[in-house]
């Protein structure tokens, strides 16, 4: 008699779960735009009280707020009062320093419309728009880099702490490449008045960098170099170079060239800091890195996500040593290496 358990038949549950995958970010964005999280930051409220505070319909709020309970961004007590969770309190209230609302708008306005063309991209291997090219990507990045500041600020502060910037005894020259909002340079500058930053990016993106540096009180220690990473003059003798989420858009050949150029711009014993969405060497995970690889397929001509082992090899090829991986509170780990 066969005592083995009968085979479990597959179900479509996983397919159905992912079929609604577009819903959570759009629900979160609707809640952000309606100020649900801002209102609940004042204290627990019922649907009716939230409606009175936001002007949104009770029917709409009931559906959205219950969905947010299911998504674990709100809780609801037996009296029907809704409250924030630790994640929503930290990241979805517009007055909080780690606010992610701008990133959610980027998903709906810029990413989802392009992702709808994924079958075409799969067939042709060509992006919908190559945002790593200045002629096509300058406006794209100008519209959303400010929204990415909060997402990467924790990583910037972690990098400053790992490098001991706060205890620096002499000048610290920082090169912030593809600076965007300037978050890495700003985070380092806020840790020590000895830090000065050279921010490199496309001209219109640097306007966002200037505004953000001014808002953060460090504008007097920033200088700017406008241009493409291939042709811009990085200068020499920097103590730290930050590459915050840029290698994935460049592709392997340009990334390796960029690391060599960065090496030449650093002072002896200078440190490079890289933030990237990494994949495992066997490319079986993590899922975020694999999904972002598809995002690069859609939005760049040669971009991709890479493993720590690959990037370490490129760093060593450029002359760097002691490459190491450090966890950070941001969306991805940090890679450090020394010149």
The predicted-structure confidence for 66-94, as pLDDT tens digits, reads as follows 999 999 999 999 999 999 999 999 999 99
Q: Do residues 182 and 219 lie in contact, with contact meaning Cβ atoms separated by under 8 Å? A: no
- Distance of alpha carbon 297 from alpha carbon 275, whole angstroms: 19
Low-confidence ranges of the chain (pLDDT < 50): none
Residue 132's pLDDT is 67
- Distance of alpha carbon 121 from alpha carbon 116, whole angstroms: 10
- Distance of alpha carbon 92 from alpha carbon 224, whole angstroms: 31
- Distance of alpha carbon 12 from alpha carbon 33, whole angstroms: 33
Domain 126-338: CATH class, spelled out: alpha beta
Residue 4's pLDDT is 62
CA Rg, the chain, in Å? 22
Cβ neighbours, 10 Å, residue 178: 25
Q: Which two tokens stand for residue 163?
A: 């490098």
CA max distance for the chain: 82
By C-alpha distance, which of 326, 201, 228, 339 is closest to 274? 326
Residue 199's pLDDT is 98
Residue 161's pLDDT is 95
- Distance of alpha carbon 203 from alpha carbon 209, whole angstroms: 10
Q: Torsions phi, psi of 152, nearest 5?
A: -105, -5
For 180-206, write each residue's pLDDT tens digit. Answer: 999 999 999 999 999 999 999 999 899
Q: What pTM value is reported for the model?
A: 0.86
Q: Domain 13-96 maps to which CATH number in 3.40.50.300, 3.20.20.20, 3.40.440.10, 1.10.10.10?
A: 1.10.10.10
Q: What are the extents of the domains in the chain?
A: 13-96, 126-338
């Amino acid at each position: 008699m066969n005592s083995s358990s009968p085979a479990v038949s597959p179900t479509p549950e996983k397919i159905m779960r992912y079929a609604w995958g577009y819903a959570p970010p759009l629900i979160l964005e609707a809640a952000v735009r309606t100020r649900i999280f801002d209102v609940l930051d004042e204290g627990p409220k019922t649907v009716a009280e939230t409606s009175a505070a936001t002007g949104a319909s009770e029917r709409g709020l009931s559906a959205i707020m219950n969905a947010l309970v299911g998504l674990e961004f709100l809780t609801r007590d037996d009296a029907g009062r809704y409250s924030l969770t630790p994640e929503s309190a930290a990241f979805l209230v517009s007055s909080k320093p780690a606010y992610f609302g701008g990133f959610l708008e980027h998903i709906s306005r810029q990413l989802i419309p392009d992702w709808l063309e994924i079958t075409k991209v799969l067939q042709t291997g060509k992006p919908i728009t190559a945002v790593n090219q200045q002629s096509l990507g300058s406006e794209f990045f100008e519209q959303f880099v400010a929204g990415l500041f909060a997402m990467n600020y924790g990583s910037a502060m972690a990098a400053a702490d790992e490098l001991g910037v706060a205890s620096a005894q002499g000048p610290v020259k920082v090169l912030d490449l593809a600076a965007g909002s300037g978050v890495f340079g700003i985070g380092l500058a806020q840790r020590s008045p000895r830090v000065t930053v050279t921010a490199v990016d496309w001209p219109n993106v640097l306007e966002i960098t200037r505004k953000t540096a001014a808002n953060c009180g460090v504008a007097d220690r920033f200088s700017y170099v406008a241009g493409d990473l291939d042709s811009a003059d990085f200068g020499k003798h920097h103590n730290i170079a930050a590459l915050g989420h840029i290698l994935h858009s460049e592709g392997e050949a340009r990334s390796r060239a960029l690391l060599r150029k960065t090496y030449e711009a650093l002072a002896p014993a200078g440190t490079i800091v890289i933030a990237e969405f990494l994949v495992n060497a066997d490319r079986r995970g993590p899922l975020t890195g694999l999904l972002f690889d598809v995002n690069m397929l859609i939005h760049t001509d040669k971009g991709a996500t890479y493993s720590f082992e690959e990037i370490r090899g490129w760093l060593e090829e450029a002359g760097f040593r002691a490459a190491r991986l450090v966890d950070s509170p941001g969306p991805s780990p940090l890679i450090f290496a020394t010149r």
